[in-house]
Structure formats: structure tokens, C-alpha cells
């Protein structure tokens, strides 16, 4: 396996330690104290006792039953604890899935711009990969006909993000079903990174999880985005295909096969408090989105977007004279960080003016104020 250079490496050099981060993609971070208090408020003393007293013996490969049970509750009747595999974070889950499904004889289909670990995992697994470009003029929707056209006799894997990162848009149910039907016809495994699922701004827009809707589908998710639990470092895969699950367990064996019990217990605490945590986070997200709406309205000659309908992120186009990389550099000098297009694609072409902005945190309004001051100061030169 040969890893590519991380696209966000340059970004981290430019923006590390800046005061006003509009780069983050997680919800308001939790504290362990909050998690313990949620458990105590529920009368879940046993969970708190386990947290303080658990043995630091190895956890079972693939995650403990109590955590897998909580995760399985997020899915429908075809997904039980035996269909869940726990990982030490989301990225390693994405790579392990690609390693288990693919080899050097295989072909995969991915979409760009995107989260690098999603779209390059098949390449890291040595698979020949077709990248399909998505476009704002199509509302960042995948065209199923283009996917079908890219399928070869050795295509084994289609990997996508839904809700879509970096734009926070949702696939239409018709597109999802068309993709599942194409994959089924060609016997292709589909992995959907659903890191932002459960953060639909209107719950009615939520799509079925890939693991629920397709017998060869895999749903990947992580504690960091919906729950604000980046430091819990727990991610998972959900899938109906038990033969593939065994291959995943075998591949996982050579990585971090046994997640830390403390992190498992923190994940259980967060999952059992999901109702409170997700509604708190969605309130922050929706309030911040109102401010972003105002910003885009006020500066509609300079910025445009496909308005996000899920997640904590938006992909904004700057219509001024600078690329998003140059804009990001100027902003960094003023203590403000955004994520330019190069963090999401190495095919900058059509995307050079786009940048991602994150709006999941309580401090976002003051960061947006800093951006507004920057725009006011510079707009007469644009
Ligand atoms: C779309 C997407 N998937 C997966 C991950 C991985 O999450 P983690 O870094 O918490 O493992 C991220 C993190 O940024 C992400 O943005």
C-alpha cells in the first residue's frame, strides 16, 4: 500500500493555531463530564461505574457487544450487533473496508471533490479507480447514468459520501435507489460514508442508511460529526453481508483490532444520550446556518453556494479575483481559517474558487464576524 500525500497537510501549515477557525467540520465538542452527567441524569449509574472501574484487558476484536448493540439501534431490522464492526475512528474503517473488498485486479468508482480518505482508500488498496466529478450546477448530485457508464467487468466497489462532504447536500431518494439498483445488477459493494447522517436540518429529508437499503451496502460512520465526539475516536461499519464482515474482521486484525474500553464506554454514553446531544447540536447548526444565509445574501455578488440541507459544512464559491487557495492564504494572515478546494481534490480545475466553511460550533458567529470584517475591508479591491 502506498499512501498519497494528505491534501490538508498544506492547509494545516497555513492555518495551524489560528484564532477564528471556519475549517472545523465537527459538532460542538462534548466533554467527558457532560457525558457522565447525561448518564447520571438518566439514572444510568452502572455505565458511570463501568467507566471508572473497567478492566484494561483487551476488548473483543471488532468491538464489545454493548457498544455494537447501541450502534445497531441506529439502523433498521436487518442490522443487529452482529452486523456492526467497531474501529478506532472513522478513517481506519474506510481504509479497512477498501482493503477487504479490493485488490490490484479490481476497479472502483469514487466521486470528487470529496473527503480524501473516502475517495483515495480504493487507490491505497491498489485498485484501479475512476473518479467522477460532481458539480454545483447539478446540485452536487451523482448522475447514475455516468456511474453505470463507468462500470467495468472488474468493478467491485462504489464509494460515496451521503450527506455529501464538502457541500452538506443530500442525495435525492431516486438517485440513491438508482445507484443501489445499478450496483445490485453488477454485484458491486457500495460503501457510503454517512459521517454526517443524523444531522439533516429537516429530519424528513433523511435517506435510508446504505446498510439498511442494500444487501451489499456498507454504512460507515463516526462519533465525531453528529455527536461532537472526535476525541472518543470510535467509528464503525454496518453491513448485512456476513461473508464480507468476516473479511473485514480479518483485515482489521492487523490494525487496532481492540478499541480502548474507555472510548467504547464514552461512545455508549454519547449514543444513549443521542436525543439530547443531537437536538442540541442541530440547534447550534440551524442558528449558525441563519447567519450564513444572511452572509451569502449580503455578499451575493461575491459568494454563492448550493445551500446545505444536512451536516455542519457548506462548499462556497468565491466569485472575486482570487482562487480559494489565495483567499485562504490572505484570511490566514488575519487569523481566519477556511478549507480551500485543494483539501478536497487534486483536480483543482473547475473547483479552484470553492472553499469549505464549517458551522457546527457555538463559537461560529464570532468567527463569521471576523470573516465579514475581512470582506468589508477588502471588497472594494475585488
Ligand atoms: C466525511 C468524513 N468521513 C469520515 C471522517 C473521519 O472521522 P474521524 O477523523 O473522526 O475518524 C471525517 C473526518 O473529518 C469526515 O469528514
d(C-alpha 382, C-alpha 322), whole Å: 8
Burial class for 290, CB neighbours closer than 10 Å (0-12, 13-18, 19+): exposed
pLDDT attached to residue 16 = 79
Strand, helix or coil at 334?
Answer: coil
The answer to whether the CB of 116 is under 6 A from ligand 1 is no
Predicted model pTM = 0.96
pLDDT attached to residue 17 = 82
Pick out the chain residues at pLDDT < 50: none
pLDDT attached to residue 97 = 97
d(C-alpha 264, C-alpha 58), whole Å: 12
Going from the C-alpha of 307 to that of each of 20, 169, 193, 316, 359, the distances in angstroms are 22, 7, 20, 9, 13
The answer to whether the CB of 167 is under 6 A from ligand 1 is no
To the nearest whole number, what is the mean pLDDT of the chain?
96
Residue 123 · residue 109 · CB < 8 Å: no
DSSP string, 95-143: HHHHHHH--TT-EEEEEES--HHHHSHHHHTT-EEEEEE--GGGTT---
Topology of the domain comprising 8-30+275-376 = 3.90.1150
Give Rg (Cα) of the chain.
21
Architecture of domain 55-273: 3-Layer(aba) Sandwich (3.40)
The answer to whether the CB of 91 is under 6 A from ligand 1 is yes
The answer to whether the CB of 311 is under 6 A from ligand 1 is no
Q: Which residue has cell 483487551?
A: 58
Ligand 1, atom 6, residue with closest C-alpha: 90
CA 69 to ligand 1 centroid distance, Å: 22
d(C-alpha 32, C-alpha 229), whole Å: 9
CA 94 to ligand 1 centroid distance, Å: 9
pLDDT attached to residue 1 = 57
| Cα three-residue angle 353-359-362, rounded to 5 degrees | 150
CA 252 to ligand 1 centroid distance, Å: 18
For the chain, give every domain's residue range: 8-30+275-376, 55-273
d(C-alpha 355, C-alpha 219), whole Å: 27
Amino acid at each position: 500500500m502506498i499512501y498519497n500525500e494528505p491534501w490538508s497537510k498544506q492547509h494545516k501549515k497555513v492555518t495551524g493555531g489560528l484564532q477564528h477557525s471556519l475549517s472545523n467540520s465537527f459538532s460542538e465538542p462534548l466533554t467527558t463530564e457532560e457525558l457522565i452527567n447525561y448518564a447520571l441524569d438518566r439514572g444510568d449509574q452502572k455505565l458511570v461505574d463501568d467507566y471508572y472501574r473497567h478492566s484494561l484487558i483487551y476488548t473483543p476484536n471488532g468491538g464489545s457487544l454493548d457498544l455494537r448493540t447501541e450502534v445497531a439501534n441506529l439502523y433498521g431490522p436487518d442490522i443487529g450487533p452482529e452486523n456492526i464492526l467497531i474501529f478506532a475512528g472513522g478513517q481506519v474503517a474506510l481504509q479497512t473496508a477498501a482493503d477487504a473488498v479490493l485488490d490490484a485486479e479490481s476497479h472502483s468508482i469514487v466521486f470528487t471533490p470529496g473527503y480524501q480518505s473516502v475517495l483515495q482508500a480504493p487507490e491505497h488498496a491498489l485498485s484501479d479507480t475512476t473518479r467522477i466529478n460532481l458539480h454545483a450546477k447539478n446540485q452536487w448530485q451523482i448522475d447514475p447514468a455516468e456511474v453505470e457508464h463507468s462500470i467495468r467487468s472488474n468493478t467491485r466497489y462504489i464509494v460515496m459520501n451521503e450527506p455529501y462532504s464538502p457541500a452538506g447536500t443530500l442525495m435525492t431518494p431516486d438517485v440513491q435507489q438508482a445507484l443501489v439498483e445499478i450496483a445490485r445488477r453488477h454485484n458491486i459493494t457500495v460503501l457510503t460514508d454517512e459521517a454526517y447522517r443524523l444531522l439533516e436540518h429537516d429530519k424528513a429529508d433523511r435517506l435510508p442508511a446504505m446498510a439498511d437499503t442494500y444487501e451489499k451496502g456498507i454504512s460507515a460512520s463516526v462519533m465525531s460529526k453528529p455527536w461532537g465526539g472526535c476525541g472518543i475516536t470510535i467509528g464503525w461499519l454496518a453491513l448485512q453481508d456476513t461473508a464480507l464482515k468476516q473479511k473485514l474482521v480479518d483485515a482489521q486484525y492487523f490494525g487496532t483490532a481492540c478499541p480502548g474500553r474507555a472510548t467504547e464506554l464514552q461512545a455508549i454514553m454519547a449514543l444513549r444520550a443521542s436525543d439530547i446531544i443531537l437536538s442540541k447540536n442541530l440547534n447550534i447548526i440551524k442558528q449558525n446556518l441563519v447567519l450564513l444565509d444572511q452572509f451569502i445574501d449580503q455578499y451575493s455578488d461575491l459568494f454563492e453556494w448550493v445551500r446545505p440541507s444536512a451536516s455542519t459544512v457548506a462548499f462556497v464559491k468565491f466569485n472575486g479575483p482570487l482562487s480559494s487557495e489565495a483567499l485562504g492564504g490572505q484570511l490566514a494572515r488575519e487569523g481566519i481559517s477556511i478549507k480551500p478546494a485543494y483539501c478536497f481534490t487534486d483536480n483543482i480545475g473547475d473547483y479552484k474558487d470553492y472553499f469549505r466553511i464549517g458551522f457546527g460550533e457555538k463559537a461560529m458567529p464570532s468567527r463569521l464576524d471576523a470573516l465579514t470584517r475581512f470582506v468589508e475591508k477588502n471588497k472594494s479591491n475585488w
